[in-house]
Structure 1
Amino acid sequence: MGSDPQHRQDRTGRRSDRPQGSGGIVFALVALALILAIGFFYLTNESREDRRADAITQAADSVDNGARIVGEAARNAADKLRNNN
């Protein structure tokens, strides 16, 4: 009865079929899963922010290119007016 590793007695004298020490392993696995989940969400959030920053930079470049084209068109129109007068 006392030598059977499958059936141990707890402090109250009742027999327990659960092996001792498995709670630490379960806790470690849950903690590891939590750490991995946090890391995954952190990494995907970083890439989302990078994509947003790239989109904003691209939009600003488009506005800059548009302003240059309008500026060149205005300069060409002014040059034509000077040459015609």
Structure 2
Amino acid sequence: MAARLDAYKDLSKRSAITNKKSNNISLGASLQHTYTSSEFLKIRTSMAHEFDREEGVTTNKDTRAMLQFIFILGSHPAHSF
């Protein structure tokens, strides 16, 4: 299980109307879980939520759920004996 938090602020962003520095921030959080059933198969699930705020108003919101299957064909990783 892995968790990730991101925060980003554009310090050079200015308002198009007043030319003053804009109060803005982009935030994001994600959780990821990887299940390994054998040396050939991995299943990974992930959930992410991101949003942007400018002057205290949310301007963009994005929530995603992802599912990934990884299957190795052919040669495989070395065994640890």
Which bracket does the TM-score occupy, shorter chain normalised? under 0.3
Larger relative contact order (CA 8 Å, sep ≥ 6) = 2
Q: If each structure's helix is expressed as a fraction of its own residues, which one has the higher value?
A: 1
Larger Rg: 1
* TM-score w.r.t. length of structure 2: 0.20
Question: Which structure shows the higher strand fraction?
Answer: 2
